[in-house]
C-alpha cells in the first residue's frame, strides 16, 4: 500500500486530504457520518476577532457546475472557538488548521496571536477580505496587501503560516511570491472566483450581496492552471483546491504542483466525498506502482 503521509511546513499529515474552510464548519456535523481521524486535516470555518452574523439572505445560489456563496464569514469569533470548539477538535485525531480573516491588518494579527498559544497545528490566512483602511480593496489582490498582512502576522505568530490566495488577480504567481517573501510557510489556492447570477424575472441579482464566490467543478481548470504556475515560481508547499469533486481531480491537482489538496463544495452534496476521493487516490497510487503520494507533486510533464 502506498504511503499517503505528507509533511507541510513541519506539520505531518497522515494523508493529503484536507477539508476546506467554510464548507466543513468545525467538523461536528460531519463527525456523525465518519470519524474525522480518517481525514488528513480540517481547515476550520473562517475566524474573526469578534463573532459575525454574516450577510443577509439569500446568500447561496446554485449554478451550472458549481455554486455561488456570499455567506459573509459568519462565525462565533476566535475566543468562542478556542473555548468551545478547539477542545473537542483536539480529540478527533486530525490536523487542525485555523482559518483567520479580518478587515484590518491588526484584526489578522490579534486573531492569529490569540490562536498562537493554543493546540491548533497551522494558521491559514484568508486574504480575500476587504481592507477597510484601503477603500475596501481586498488584501489578496495586490502584492503590497499580501506582503503587509503576511509579514505582520508572521511577526506575531509562531505557528506554521499558510496564506490562502485569491484567484481574482492578473498574475497569481506574483501574489504567491509576495506571500513567500513575507514569511509564509505555505500557500493554499485557489479561493473562490467572483461571480454573479441574475433572476431574469425579478431582474435582480439572486444573491442579496449581488456578487458571490464561485466554487465547484466549474473552477477546477482555473485552479489547476494557477497551481501549476505557482509551483514553477515558489519553493514553499502548495495546498491545491478549487473544484475537486472526484479522485481524478485530486491526482490532477497534485501533478500540477500541490503537496496536498482541500475539498469543499463536493461535501455539500455528498458528505462522504472526501473519503471517496482519498480511496480513489490510494488505488491510483497502488495500480501505478507509486510508493508515495509525494511523488506526484509537480510531476506533470510539459510539452516540449
Write out the chain's pLDDT in tens, 304 residues.
999 999 999 999 999 999 999 999 999 999 999 999 999 999 999 999 999 999 999 999 999 999 999 999 999 999 999 999 999 999 999 999 999 999 999 999 999 999 999 999 999 999 998 766 776 679 999 999 999 999 999 999 999 999 999 999 999 999 999 999 999 999 999 999 999 999 999 999 999 999 999 999 999 999 999 999 999 999 999 999 999 999 999 999 999 999 999 999 999 999 999 999 999 999 999 999 999 999 999 999 999 8
The helix-helix angle for 247-256 and 273-287 (nearest 10°) equals: 60
Per DSSP bridges, beta strands 204-205 and 198-199 are antiparallel
Instruction: Please tell me the pTM assigned to this model.
Output: 0.97
Give residue 130's pLDDT: 75
**Interacting residues of 188 by C-beta distance below 8 A, sequence separation 6+:** 43, 124, 162, 163, 164, 165, 238, 239, 240, 241, 262
Residues contacting 27, CB < 8 A, separation 6+? 19, 36, 42, 44, 89, 92
Q: Closest Cα to residue 112, out of 166, 52, 152, 53?
A: 152
pLDDT of residue 135: 67
Q: Rounded to whole angstroms, how far apart are CA atoms 118 and 120?
A: 6
Please tell me the predicted confidence (pLDDT) of residue 136. 67
Q: Round to whole Å and give the CA distance between 300 and 296.
A: 8
Instruction: Check residue 154 and give left, alpha or beta (phi > 0: left; psi -120 to 50: alpha).
Output: alpha
Known catalytic residue at 129? yes
The pLDDT score that the predictor gives to residue 4 is 98
Catalytic residue among 44, 109, 129, 143: 129
Do the beta carbons of residue 120 and residue 47 sit within 8 Å? no
Domain annotation for the chain: domains and CATH numbers: 6-54+72-194+215-296 (3.20.20.70)
Q: Which of 200, 216, 199 lies closest to 208, judged by CA?
A: 199
Amino acid at each position: 500500500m502506498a504511503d499517503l503521509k505528507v509533511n507541510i511546513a513541519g506539520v505531518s499529515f497522515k494523508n493529503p486530504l484536507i477539508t476546506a474552510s467554510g464548507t466543513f464548519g468545525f467538523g461536528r456535523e460531519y463527525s456523525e457520518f465518519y470519524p474525522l481521524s480518517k481525514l488528513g486535516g480540517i481547515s476550520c470555518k473562517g475566524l474573526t476577532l469578534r463573532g459575525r452574523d454574516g450577510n443577509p439572505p439569500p446568500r447561496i445560489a446554485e449554478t451550472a457546475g458549481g455554486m455561488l456563496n456570499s455567506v459573509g464569514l459568519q462565525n462565533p469569533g476566535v475566543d468562542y472557538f478556542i473555548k468551545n470548539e478547539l477542545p473537542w477538535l483536539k480529540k478527533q485525531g486530525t490536523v487542525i488548521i485555523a482559518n483567520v480573516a479580518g478587515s484590518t491588518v491588526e484584526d489578522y494579527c490579534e486573531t492569529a496571536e490569540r490562536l498562537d498559544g493554543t493546540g491548533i497545528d497551522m494558521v491559514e490566512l484568508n486574504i480575500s477580505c476587504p481592507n477597510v483602511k484601503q477603500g475596501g480593496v481586498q488584501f489578496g489582490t495586490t502584492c503590497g496587501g499580501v506582503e503587509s498582512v503576511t509579514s505582520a502576522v508572521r511577526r506575531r505568530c509562531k505557528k506554521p503560516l499558510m496564506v490562502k490566495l485569491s484567484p481574482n488577480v492578473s498574475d497569481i504567481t506574483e501574489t504567491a511570491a509576495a506571500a513567500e517573501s513575507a514569511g509564509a510557510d505555505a500557500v493554499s489556492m485557489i479561493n473562490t472566483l467572483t461571480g454573479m447570477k441574475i433572476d431574469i424575472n425579478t431582474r435582480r441579482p439572486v444573491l442579496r450581496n449581488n456578487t458571490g464566490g464561485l466554487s465547484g467543478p466549474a473552477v477546477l481548470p482555473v485552479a489547476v492552471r494557477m497551481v501549476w504556475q505557482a509551483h514553477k515560481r515558489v519553493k514553499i508547499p502548495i495546498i491545491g483546491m478549487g473544484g475537486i469533486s472526484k479522485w481524478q481531480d485530486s491526482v490532477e491537482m497534485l501533478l500540477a504542483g500541490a503537496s496536498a489538496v482541500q475539498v469543499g463544495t463536493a461535501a455539500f452534496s455528498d458528505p462522504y466525498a472526501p473519503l471517496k476521493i482519498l480511496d480513489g487516490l490510494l488505488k491510483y497510487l497502488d495500480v501505478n506502482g507509486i510508493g508515495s503520494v509525494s511523488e506526484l507533486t509537480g510531476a506533470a510533464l510539459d510539452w516540449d
